[in-house]
Structure 1
Amino acid sequence: MALYLIQHGKSRSKAEDSKQRLSDLGRADTRRIAQVAEGYRVPVSIIRHSRKERAFETARIFAQFLTPERGIEEIDGIDPMDDVETFAITLDTKENSMVVGHLPFMERLVGYLVAGNPEKRIFKFQNSGIVCLDKDENGWFISWTLMPNIGKDI
């Protein structure tokens, strides 16, 4: 089982778009990362996303490239300030699932799963990037990451 965590693609500002949908750069970065993931044949059973439009758009782009057998699903409990411990209990460790959400939730979830402490920053997410977590007898660990910006200030 793998858990693929994604911070939604870059969005427009609230002043530009009250729903803060993806910007052109956000769509382009998301497509680029999704194409690379497709090339690596990243196996995804389902893509879950928050109720925010930018997360849905990001999930939809990844679904176009990775064609998850169970499609995409909108879920509660992954908004920026939601409780990561409550969400962690719901994780199904028998499937390869992708979750598209927001900061600080995504970074707090990684801290909680990997280090047992949601306040410990284990990884700095980038918009549209994938952090792949896996689990063995010793617990959760970061298996790999795929980020749109490498070696740049982000």
Structure 2
Amino acid sequence: MAIYLVQHGKSLPEDVDPEKGLALEGKEETVRVASTARDNGVHVSIIKHSGKKRARETAEIIASILAPKPRVEETQGLNPLDDVKILAKRLTKEQDLMLVGHLPFMQRLLSYLVTGSDDRPVFKFQNSGILCLDMDDKGRWLIKWAIMPVID
């Protein structure tokens, strides 16, 4: 089983779109990263997002590119300040799952899964980037790879 963590794509400023949907750059970067994932054989059963417009749009773009097309659904517990331990307990080993959310939640979830503490940063997320976690035979989550829109 793999878990894919995604920070939503770059969004429009609130004065342009009060719901902060994706900016053109955010859409383009999401398409590029998702295409790279697809071309490298990434398969996901389900993509869960926070319900915020920018996360939903990011999830929908990724789903439209991956094959076979995964199911997309809103879920509780992916908002910026939600408790990562609650979501971590809900993770199962049965299916490949992609989570699309926000900082600081995604950073804290990754830290918790890898180190057991949500305040030890282990990776710098980028908007639209996909980070893959894999569980080893001892039940530990390890960072397997990441596809980021920019290498800097």
Measure how far apart 1:51 and its partner are: 1.0
**Counterpart check, 1:48 vs 2:26:** no
Distance 1:62 1:37 in 2: 9
SS across alignment from 2:80: coil
Distance 2:100 2:60 in 1: 10
Over the matched positions of the two proteins, sequence identity in percent amounts to 49
Q: TM-score, normalised by structure 2?
A: 0.96
1:24 aligned partner: 24
Measure how far apart 1:43 and its partner are: 1.3
Measure how far apart 1:67 and its partner are: 3.6
Q: 10-19 or 62-71, which moves further after superposition?
A: 62-71
**Counterpart check, 1:131 vs 2:134:** no
Runs of 5+ consecutive residues of structure 2 not aligned to the other structure:
none
Alignment deviations for residues 61-113 of structure 1 (CA, whole Å, 9 cap, x no partner):
00011145551011011100000001100001111100000000000001000
Distance 1:47 1:26 in 2: 18
Alignment deviations for residues 18-72 of structure 1 (CA, whole Å, 9 cap, x no partner):
0000000000000000111110110111111011010000000000111455510
2:115 aligned partner: 115
What is the CA RMSD across the aligned residues, in angstroms?
1.0
Letter in 2 for 1:78: L
Distance 2:25 2:46 in 1: 25
2:100 aligned partner: 100
Runs of 5+ consecutive residues of structure 1 not aligned to the other structure:
none
**Structure 1 residues 29 and 70 mapped into 2: Cα distance closer, same or farther (>3 Å)?**
closer
1:47 touches 1:68 (CA, 8 Å); kept in 2? no
Q: TM-score, normalised by structure 1?
A: 0.95
Distance 2:54 2:124 in 1: 19
**Structure 1 residues 138 and 104 mapped into 2: Cα distance closer, same or farther (>3 Å)?**
same
**Counterpart check, 1:143 vs 2:144:** yes
> How many aligned positions are there?
151
